Structure 1
Amino acid sequence: MSSNLSRILDSVDPFIGTAATDLPAAQGLAAAWWWPKAQVGNTHPGACYPLGMVSACACSGAYPTGYGLYGISKEGAPEAMYDEYLASGFTHFQQSGTGAIRKYYNYFRVTPMVEPLDSLGNRWRLADEEASPGYYAATLANGIRCELTVGAKTAVHRYTFPESSSSRVVIDFSYGGLAIEHGTTVPLRAGIESLGQGCAQGTVVMEGIPLSVYIDTDAPGWRQLVWYDRRRVDGGTRLDFDYIRRTTLRPFGLMFMGPTRAGQVVEIRMGFSMRGTEQAKRNLEQALPGQAGFDAALADTRDAWSDYFSQVEVQGGTPERRTVFATSLYHSLIKPCFAQDESPFWPSKGPFVFDIATMWDMYKTQFPLLTALNPAKGADMLEAIVRIAEEEGNLPIGYRMARGSDRFFRQASALAHTVLADGFQLGLEGPEWDWALVHMQDDLRRGYGEDYTERGVVHPISHTLDLATGYWCTAILARGLGDLKLADELEARAKGWVNAFGPDGLLRDSSFYEGGRWNYSFRLLHDMASRITLAGGDQEFTSILDRFFGFGADPVVQLGVPPFGSEFAMGLDLDRFEGLNNEPDMEAPWAYHYAGRPDRTAEVVHAALSYQFGTGRGGLVGNDDSGALSSWYVWASLGLFPVAGQNLFLVNAPAFAEAQLRFGGNDFELVTTGHAETGIGEDAHGTAPRYVQSARFNGKPLDQSFITGNQLHGGGRLEIELGPEPSDWATKTRPPSASDRADHARDAGARFQEFLP
């Protein structure tokens, strides 16, 4: 990496997105976008390991991560549950940036106390909070300074106590979930054992998952005991529960206790596993051998974060923009959770990945970023996805720490097909591609797929687009593996996307998941050329997009705190871009590229970067959705955008003057001329150069507005000249479409073949 490019790891602010949206007042184009969904990022500032199994954070019981102030928030500004930041202890396993979810996590609550055990469950005010990648700290109102760090499968707590005759660290095995109605998680079975000499272990079965922990403390001379219903179990070293119901649940757990002098430090080391306490112990010993404790764990985690951040370096940018960019990269690498050899559902070794929590958003932006930064991890994820289909019968739409790969079928269909197609075209090693093809083909007939097969259309109508794309992606594998007959059959079915559209160039009336037909009408389909023809051609398609993005429209009034009046219905009637507050239309700005108007893409993206993201706790305009929104920001800032399933990256004006990236294990350099700095909240209609005038890739003119994934991963140099006015760059050549491929005599078709891997 170039020495004049500064690293951005220290610019990360994990508090961004933890509170209600608080952004500069939007001007220009961005002022016309409407925010229907929850105006809060729903992130947490807890300690996280990149793509690790374990996280740890202060827990108030707030929605949806357990951290923070708010109750259930689905639309508008969130309503506060608490007036200040509180914690009843520190829990493990949190979601990141999601909205409504069924599984709530927050297990194995650890609470340092100087109060009696009866005070367990009280919430203490948090003061002096600090957070950075892999680290979280706060001081409780009882005077205890609390620090957390985690490894991939471990956590270490460090508590600095005041002087007390009876300090204690209490671990509540029964706790899980949130402090909202129907938000708690009740263990079905549990077993705890105090092993003596500061060691203990136990397992709880939470919503079908056996979670085991091995605990090691460094508090010599402290007593350790088990407790039940906030009372010590005198002389007992074990607790076992064969069957627990909500009506029979009483709190239970472990406690370490003893006197402390002022400033005395106690560390709690924890290893976790979904395959029993012996594996939990091995996980801890392998990560922290000997007496290695908090400082060693934090150093290892910081090194892991540094490995990722060293691959993405940018030149320039205001301090605020660099903070938002760095934090976006950080949020993009928290999920999904990789847990090698940890599947509780099948006994064999190998990759196991969970918390693919919002795949209907993650597949567009986050998975391409993960695969670019760590191709081996990307291959592991694909192998795990295929294994889920093999073991559970479905390629997952969303996958949590629980069995049930088809649980989110109403959100979308055939999304894993796009990820698998991208991985295949990139040549990722690991997945058995012939076996993946079998599962992809079988999965196309599950759920809504049967109706699509019989009728060529299915409602909700967005699933028609999903399934058509799924057939196209499956055909890519079939053709690549030499089954040309199957590929032809699949490509024929992939043409069914056309049945979803009406004569007005938009999707037909139907039901939709979190959006309307306008929000879903501008997906980057595999045949955008034909889709634009269906809408009446470039000019008509551009006019429809302009209306959707609100060019020339009046500013809108955003929702406040519910309950709402007529403003909600009025907002829905706008049929307007949701401005990254919600993600169904997150790829829509790049639809202009296919109509020869990359200048319009530049204007929309520039407005979004200026007004939809900011610093501070309220710096996200909507739910981060496991990093999908943050990874959108990363790509948009770099002037690139992945087209899921098509092995394409669209090129646009970057927000930074220069970037050096290590994608696919190779160095990729992005250099601009004519760049001018713009900050967050600056006028989106200002004079800052933001239009591409010309481009060169590896020294040769780049007249089209795209490169392939193989070119990005293969390394090279992309030079972009920027200017203050639109140009004719990439107005005559278009990104490839399926209909181009069908006619090799056409220039576009030949161009498509040239860029195939």
Structure 2
Amino acid sequence: MYEFVDPFVGTGGTELAAPKGLAAGWWWPKPQVGNTHPGATHPFGMVSACAYSGAYPTGYGVYEFNTEGVPGRLYEGPVASGFTHFQQSGTGAIRKYYNYFRVTPMVGPLDELGTTWELADEVAEPGYYAATLGSGVRCELTVGPKSAVHRYTFPAHEAARIVVDASIGGLAIPHGRTVPLKAHLAMLEPGAAQGEIHVEGVPLAVHLEVDAPGWRQLLWYDRRLMPGGTRLDFDYIRPTTLRPFGLMFMGPSRAEQTVEVRLGFSLRGCETARENLWADVGRGQATFPGRRARTATTWREHLGKVEIDASNDDQATIFGTALYHSLIKPCFAPDESPSWTTAGPYAFDICTMWDIYRTQLPLMTTLFPEQSVALAGALLSICEQEGNLPIGYRMAKGADRFSRQGSALAHTFFADLCQLDLPGIDWDWAMVHLEMDLRRTYGEDYLVHGVAHPISHTLDLAYAYHCTAAIAHKVRDRPLAQQMRELAQGWRAAYDPATGLLRDSTFYEGGRWNYSFRLLHDMRARIALAGGDEAFVRLLDRFFGYDAAPVTQPGTAPSVAEMDAGYALCRFEGLNNEPDYEAPWAYHYAGRPDRTAEVVHAAIANQFGTGRGGLPGNDDSGGLSAWYVWATLGLFPVAGQNLFLVSSPAVAESKLQLPDGDLSITTAEFEPVEAGGSVSYVQSIAVDGKTLERPWLSGRELRHIRNLHIQLGPEPSGWGTRVRPPSTSDPRPATGGEA
């Protein structure tokens, strides 16, 4: 899929064709912009590098801060004041915007630093970004796992410059700046320097090498050069007195002369940063082509894990780019933890678990289980050091920043790993932290009062107890497992039997309709609470807007009245909101997989496109893109239950490279998915030649089967209507068994 990836998808405000059919009734209140960036990245790598405009929220682009509707603009077109490192991917209001160590090629005086030049001739592919600044300098970026390499092609000039600003961080919007509170820079030898800044409690070190023989190198402070200076130290920096500082390389350039800048990064000091640079890039000049080629090869290997028979190039681009966006985060930085000194796994930009636990983490676990095991180890170490399993975790101190979003979401991730029996995790050690974490913050309310508000936390905690019971069973603590199973029944207190929906409460970025159709561990009882299959389906039909009139989406700076009218619809938000990701598959549990197919195909056909405006909302660290990947394949992971629901795929054939062998998904009577077009329904399924009556597979089955063959047709069938996905209150627990 490498050739079809377009990293510019999602970097602009949503620009999709007018929705047709069912999708015309969906209303999207959250930001209508993907919030991705096109910069150079490495699969699950520590470092990214991109053009820097200071725009919200990645530092790339043209938009102001926004949380509703169409974003306003800071700039008319793409601009950059240089090129920074470390960017979020697709997130929204995270209050942690990175963009450290800005490198700016210049052919003007230092006073021009901070100028935003127009960007032209932008090019992006996995692991590579290039553009030409309005100053005439051609700029190219690539990265390794812990390094970045820049290559600048200058025009002829008597005083060309490479300026590194170590003081910059964050965004050029109100309250978006990140100020280093401690810093030092040092010149080492001609063409080499190092530095370290402390931002939000974390030390970030860089070792820098510049391939420009004969150029002068100088430190600068407050835009004034410091000739002869070799060190610059700040033990205390106050935001109110911060002045920019950094280092500069300066000399005459020939026409078309290239200058290479190599940066190695570490959270454990400058010496480790140097080691990381040399390990990633090597030593010597002209390393850019080799690093770019190696990163491209790694991306080809990762993206090659999934192949599809796309109906056209647009579908191939949307899918390939979605897979690419799904493999950027979290950022793995082995042996780099700034919080403990031992070697071992470490990761940041788990931003946030609320965004990725339903779709992106299950995709990583399916395709790259070794990465999931490493993430589990990192999460446990974070918990041991900071006292909690984080809901979100950044390159910053304070893992509990996102506690309002959800409770105990990491437990779902651990439960899937546990049920797959993946090696490399000390489950007794894990059990200690998983149990302890259930009693923190909102967990105390759950235990004392039987309910936690926001009411969605009640569902989180009940589900986490169910997940943890499976892990307690694995470590043979049967009394604890039984206690966890009993506490997992607390989800009932969250629902109002009179409405079949959640009780009134406050909600994080949504309302009770958005959260009411979560896939619980006891969907059989949940549907009964709503009045049975037919009543539950009626609620879902209303939510998804069956027979509803088309709606108008919020515009730029929508009014309170406009937003209130939209929220009053109580409508599916068209994948613009994370809690809605799993709602279409709730139909499976009521014996209506035909409805699942209708909603999912409407979303695939209407809510994704090519170009900068091709996403319906924030990509959220790949959470939205991973949804598209799963939906296109005709699968959906029920996170925490080691379960995959099966539906109509959006491609005729696909192949997944899994750890135990390739899985091919084939179809018969396939029809391409089109906006407003007819829907293909599952008629029957065969797994390795054997009939599969149930609409789900266990994670173990998915790893070991070689072919999933789906017979499709233009009308709903009886498949999946009789045998339902498992629930804890089923008379006979479903174990997966043989297909």
Q: Normalising to structure 2: TM-score of the pair?
A: 0.99
Task: Give the conservation status (yes or no) of the 8 Å contact 2:695–2:724.
Answer: yes
Question: What is the Cα deviation at residue 106 of structure 1?
Answer: 0.2
1:29 aligns with 2:22: yes
Name the aligned partner's letter for residue 650 of structure 2.
A
- Match of 1:150? 143
**Which among 178, 182, 190 is matched to residue 189 of structure 1?**
182
Question: What is the Cα deviation at residue 405 of structure 1?
Answer: 1.8
- Match of 1:49? 42
Cα deviations across residues 241-273 of structure 1 (Å, max 9, x unaligned)? Answer: 110001221111011111011100000011000
Q: RMSD across aligned C-alpha pairs, in angstroms?
A: 1.1
Q: Name the CA distance, whole Å, in 2 between partners of 1:420 and 1:113.
A: 49
Task: Give the conservation status (yes or no) of the 8 Å contact 2:406–2:457.
Answer: yes
Cα deviations across residues 553-612 of structure 1 (Å, max 9, x unaligned)? Answer: 000111001141522111000000010111111100000000000000000000000111
SS at match of 2:621: helix
SS at match of 1:308: helix
Q: Name the CA distance, whole Å, in 2 between partners of 1:678 and 1:449.
A: 43
Question: What is the Cα deviation at residue 753 of structure 1?
Answer: 6.2
Q: Name the CA distance, whole Å, in 2 between partners of 1:39 and 1:466.
A: 27
- Match of 1:521? 516
Name the aligned partner's letter for residue 432 of structure 1.
D
SS at match of 1:168: strand
Question: What is the Cα deviation at residue 678 of structure 1?
Answer: 3.2
Question: What is the Cα deviation at residue 714 of structure 1?
Answer: 2.5
- Match of 2:10? 17
- Match of 1:691? 681
**Which among 598, 608, 615 is matched to residue 613 of structure 1?**
608
1:171 aligns with 2:161: no
Matches within 5 A, 1:322-337: 322-337=316-331
- Match of 2:571? 576
Question: What is the Cα deviation at residue 665 of structure 1?
Answer: 4.5
1:405 aligns with 2:388: no
Question: What is the Cα deviation at residue 508 of structure 1?
Answer: 0.3
Cα 1:715/1:115, change in 2 over 3 Å:
farther
1:754 aligns with 2:737: yes
Question: What is the Cα deviation at residue 754 of structure 1?
Answer: 3.1
Q: Name the CA distance, whole Å, in 1 between partners of 2:94 and 2:303.
A: 30
**Which among 310, 313, 321 is matched to residue 316 of structure 1?**
310
Moved more, 95-104 or 274-283: 95-104
Name the aligned partner's letter for residue 411 of structure 1.
Q
Query: Where does structure 1 differ by over 2 angstroms across 4 or more consecutive aligned residues?
Result: 663-666, 751-756
Task: Give the conservation status (yes or no) of the 8 Å contact 2:663–2:706.
Answer: yes
SS at match of 1:495: helix
Task: Give the conservation status (yes or no) of the 8 Å contact 2:52–2:81.
Answer: yes
Task: Give the conservation status (yes or no) of the 8 Å contact 2:684–2:712.
Answer: yes
Q: Name the CA distance, whole Å, in 2 between partners of 1:35 and 1:516.
A: 13
Which consecutive residues of structure 2, in runs of 5 or more, have no partner in the other structure? none
Task: Give the conservation status (yes or no) of the 8 Å contact 1:532–1:595.
Answer: yes
SS at match of 1:739: coil
Cα deviations across residues 197-230 of structure 1 (Å, max 9, x unaligned)? Answer: 2111010111111000001111111111111111
Matches within 5 A, 1:351-370: 351-370=345-364
1:728 aligns with 2:721: no
Question: What is the Cα deviation at residue 506 of structure 1?
Answer: 0.4
Q: Name the CA distance, whole Å, in 2 between partners of 1:188 and 1:162.
A: 37
1:281 aligns with 2:274: yes
1:554 aligns with 2:544: no
1:115 aligns with 2:74: no
Name the aligned partner's letter for residue 633 of structure 2.
L
Name the aligned partner's letter for residue 752 of structure 1.
T
Task: Give the conservation status (yes or no) of the 8 Å contact 1:107–1:175.
Answer: yes
Q: Name the CA distance, whole Å, in 1 between partners of 2:311 and 2:169.
A: 42
Task: Give the conservation status (yes or no) of the 8 Å contact 1:663–1:715.
Answer: no
Cα deviations across residues 480-537 of structure 1 (Å, max 9, x unaligned)? Answer: 2211111111100000000100021100000000000000000000000110011111
Q: Name the CA distance, whole Å, in 1 between partners of 2:125 and 2:691.
A: 42
- Match of 1:340? 334
Name the aligned partner's letter for residue 602 of structure 1.
A
Q: Name the CA distance, whole Å, in 1 between partners of 2:598 and 2:735.
A: 27
Q: Name the CA distance, whole Å, in 2 between partners of 1:711 and 1:262.
A: 61
SS at match of 1:369: helix
Cα deviations across residues 393-437 of structure 1 (Å, max 9, x unaligned)? Answer: 001111111121222111100100000000111111112111111
- Match of 1:4? none
Q: Name the CA distance, whole Å, in 2 between partners of 1:287 and 1:519.
A: 45
SS at match of 1:217: strand
Name the aligned partner's letter for residue 13 of structure 1.
D
Q: Name the CA distance, whole Å, in 1 between partners of 2:347 and 2:178.
A: 22
Task: Give the conservation status (yes or no) of the 8 Å contact 1:664–1:714.
Answer: no
Q: Name the CA distance, whole Å, in 1 between partners of 2:466 and 2:204.
A: 39
**Which among 54, 60, 76 is matched to residue 61 of structure 1?**
54
Q: Name the CA distance, whole Å, in 1 between partners of 2:363 and 2:565.
A: 37
Question: What is the Cα deviation at residue 102 of structure 1?
Answer: 1.5
Cα 1:755/1:453, change in 2 over 3 Å:
farther
Task: Give the conservation status (yes or no) of the 8 Å contact 2:199–2:396.
Answer: no
Question: What is the Cα deviation at residue 717 of structure 1?
Answer: 0.8
Q: Name the CA distance, whole Å, in 1 between partners of 2:636 and 2:567.
A: 27
Q: Name the CA distance, whole Å, in 1 between partners of 2:383 and 2:738.
A: 31
SS at match of 1:439: helix
SS at match of 1:547: helix
SS at match of 2:729: helix
SS at match of 1:752: coil
Task: Give the conservation status (yes or no) of the 8 Å contact 2:688–2:705.
Answer: no
Name the aligned partner's letter for residue 335 of structure 1.
K
Task: Give the conservation status (yes or no) of the 8 Å contact 1:371–1:664.
Answer: no
Name the aligned partner's letter for residue 737 of structure 1.
S
Q: Name the CA distance, whole Å, in 1 between partners of 2:524 and 2:464.
A: 18
**Which among 651, 656, 665 is matched to residue 656 of structure 1?**
651
- Match of 1:129? 122
- Match of 1:419? 413
Q: Name the CA distance, whole Å, in 2 between partners of 1:187 and 1:308.
A: 35
Q: Name the CA distance, whole Å, in 1 between partners of 2:572 and 2:470.
A: 31
Cα deviations across residues 308-340 of structure 1 (Å, max 9, x unaligned)? Answer: 111101113211111000000000011110000
Task: Give the conservation status (yes or no) of the 8 Å contact 1:469–1:494.
Answer: yes
- Match of 1:248? 241
- Match of 2:692? 702
- Match of 2:479? 485
Q: Name the CA distance, whole Å, in 1 between partners of 2:659 and 2:537.
A: 34
- Match of 1:391? 385
Q: Name the CA distance, whole Å, in 2 between partners of 1:29 and 1:73.
A: 28
SS at match of 1:149: strand
- Match of 2:454? 460
Cα 1:753/1:10, change in 2 over 3 Å:
closer
Q: Name the CA distance, whole Å, in 1 between partners of 2:76 and 2:85.
A: 24
**Which among 641, 649, 653 is matched to residue 646 of structure 1?**
641
- Match of 2:229? 236
- Match of 1:567? 562
Question: What is the Cα deviation at residue 731 of structure 1?
Answer: 0.5
Question: What is the Cα deviation at residue 140 of structure 1?
Answer: 0.3
**Which among 485, 489, 500 is matched to residue 495 of structure 1?**
489
Cα 1:97/1:443, change in 2 over 3 Å:
same
Q: Name the CA distance, whole Å, in 1 between partners of 2:336 and 2:637.
A: 31
1:538 aligns with 2:533: yes
- Match of 2:589? 594
1:714 aligns with 2:709: no
Aligned length: 737
1:272 aligns with 2:262: no
Matches within 5 A, 1:297-316: 297-316=291-310
Task: Give the conservation status (yes or no) of the 8 Å contact 1:389–1:395.
Answer: yes
Task: Give the conservation status (yes or no) of the 8 Å contact 2:698–2:736.
Answer: no
